Structure 1
Amino acid sequence: MMTRVLFVCLGNICRSPSAEGIFRDLAAEAGLAVLTDSAGTSDWHVGSAPYAPMKEAALERGFDLSDLRARQFIAGDFDQFDLIIGMDDSNLENIERLRPAGSQTPARIFTDFAPEIGMDHVPDPYYTRDFTQTLDLVQAASRGLIKHLS
């Protein structure tokens, strides 16, 4: 059975596309059948490629994000995905605001899958400029999510 996972951040140009790209590659290496996508809770960057410094930092680690384009999270995503992953509490609150009545689709914070990292969210490198930290957290949480789904 294929698991459908959606990664969500604010603008869908840094954290969620890197999570989508890294998780899909690591899941494929692990032989896990997944369908991935990413979205932003805002509409600021709809149609845009991932932020160039994020894309370059991911590529340096062997993760190509060039095929990804930003889109906005919608209520219908609850029906299209088995698991929705937010990067921080604000993202999760915005996701929950759109939850349709009766929807049982789980929505979780990404770092829940990597408690060993000691972080309760993935900081936004668009503001922090720390693309290395973001990628470290995303890779750790991706490995934890793969274990969770296996």
Structure 2
Amino acid sequence: MPFTQKYDDATREAATARVLERRATNPDDRSVLRVVADEFNVGQQSLRAWVAEADGEQGVRKTRRSRPRFSPVVTTRIEPADVPDTSIPAIESAPAVAAVTPVVPVARQENVAESPNAEIASLEAEIESLRRGNAAITAAMRVLLAG
């Protein structure tokens, strides 16, 4: 039994022309194929194939930008220290959580007029407190990675 076309050439050409016309007038409309397929009572996949064939005949080929398959991931690796660092406090025993001291930021007063030197000293004290906290966290990570 020979293959017979389900849709006649006039329907095929009219539906393809309508899709191309609607895409030209409103390129952001993503429902063009569904609407035109319902209008001409044809299958969406058939209409999609006809439009792709017509685009190929006209030499119009849309290129899509390729997206990265995975998003970039930032990783941080802490290498174990071969030489003990004297600036980092040593952690001796198993309760590593007890050895880490909590970092308490230095409170800054907003309303009191301070001299620039006092403000600088306050900021330097806060920076030193943060450095001690970072050093304690780094030491704890080394203990966890070594164990």
TM bucket by the smaller chain? under 0.3
Specify which structure has the bigger relative contact order, considering alpha-carbon pairs within 8 angstroms and separated by 6 or more residues: 1
Name whichever structure is richer in strand by fraction.
1
Larger Rg over CA atoms? 2
Name whichever structure is richer in helix by fraction.
2
Q: TM-score, normalised by structure 2?
A: 0.21
Q: TM-score, normalised by structure 1?
A: 0.21
